[in-house]
Amino acid sequence: MKSTYLIVLLTFIFVFSCKKNPEYSTAKLVTSQFNYSHEVIVDGMNIPWGFTFLPDNSMLITEKLGELIHFKNGKKTLVEGLPNIEVLGQGGLMDIELHPDYESNGYIYISYASTKGEGKGANTAIMRCKLENFKLVDQKVLYKASPNSKRGQHFGSRIEFDNDGYLYFTIGDRGNRDINPQNIERDNGKVYRLHDDGRIPASNPFVRDRNAKKAIFSYGHRNIQGMIKHPETGEIWTHEHGPKGGDEINIVEAGKNYGWPKISYGINYIGTKFTDHTDLPGMEQPLHHWTPSIAPSGMAFVTSDVYPGWKGNLLVGSLKFQYLNRCVIENNKVVSEEKLIKGLGRVRSVKQGPDGYIYAGIENLGIVKIIPNK
């Protein structure tokens, strides 16, 4: 009798918790209606933090330890002329993105950990450059977060452009959650927006605040390692790491506060609470969260017809559980999820290629291509 009562009680607790948890209440695990395989396209990689495709279908791939690799027709070539990159904890050479008008201007954007500026340690920098004869030239640092920190966590950092040509990038809270994310007079824990040449847009939300960091677009973030423009709406979608639980997907909007660490669905890694709140006035709710955490990295929308039933789905890498997460989206809600390419390694980055196929950067492996079996 006691065991029956205990089962009923636990069931009630679980159902009640599901109602408070967007993931458990709306998202279910699904299985694709087709089989797929994968092919290793670029092997021998350590941490392929980011990659992008050039117009000739070659690839530029960043290795976190400070190498930029050009890959074409099975050949890897090291690109020379990188800035000084500090490999510190989670920091190193991170994301890479092409200018939307790359074929006309040749601009490439990279994010990396830099020791330049105020204080000891490092912080995230954003650079614009060009590629000539396997060398980076015409380098210009567009933004450098300050002050530097000796801490090794939460550098961010993803790069994306919107439909109006604005440059967005993310920088994590650098492990200083109680000071940086909620203070617009300080860098870190933010999404930033610039013109493509580094100028501050006059329409940025805090340009009239005398003491604010004028490049800030949104704040109250922990550590965003996924950012993508929605292919239909043009909105900027992000995901970010929570601590133990509370990884989030958000649509970022100008001037909005996304709550970290005042609100969260997560707890400290040791199991203690740091906040009693999952919502507060003036702070945005995630459109989805993962509790327990999956440690998300990389983000891409499927826009091609290569994969039956996947068009419009959102892909997110899981570092913790080593799979690519396929999220089915309806009305800006994740309604179901599927785990892809499980067990290959930590999924660090993901892109849809010019050929419509999905490519993923897997740590200690390389770049893999997901192939539907006909």
Catalytic residue set: 154
Q: What is the C-alpha R_g of the chain? A: 21
User: Is 334 exposed, middle or buried (CB count within 10 Å of its CB: 0-12, 13-18, 19+)?
Assistant: buried
Side-chain half-sphere of 358: how many Cα atoms within 13 Å?
A: 34
Helix (H, G, I), strand (E, B) or coil at 310: coil
The helix or strand, by DSSP H or E, that contains position 261, with its residue range, turns out to be none
Q: How far apart are CA 130 and CA 105, in angstroms?
A: 9
Q: Which two tokens stand for residue 55?
A: 């117009």
Q: Tell me the two tokens of residue 303.
A: 């826009």
Q: What is d(CA 231, CA 207) in angstroms, rounded to the nearest whole number?
A: 28
Any idea which residue has 């997901």 for tokens?
370
Do 68 and 93 touch, CB atoms closer than 8 A? Answer: yes
SS3 25: helix
Please, are residues 128 and 142 in contact by the beta-carbon 8 Å criterion?
A: yes
Rounded CA separation 191/172 (Å): 9
Task: Copy the structure tokens of residue 347.
Answer: 């999924």
Query: How many whole angstroms separate alpha carbon 199 and alpha carbon 265?
Result: 36
SS3 of residue 244 by DSSP: strand
* Locus of tokens 């423009």: 229
CB half-sphere exposure, 200, CA atoms < 13 A: 13
A 10 A CB-CB count for 160 gives 21
| Cα–Cα dist 91/201, whole Å | 27
What distance in Å separates the CA atoms of residue 269 and residue 266, rounded to the nearest whole number? 9
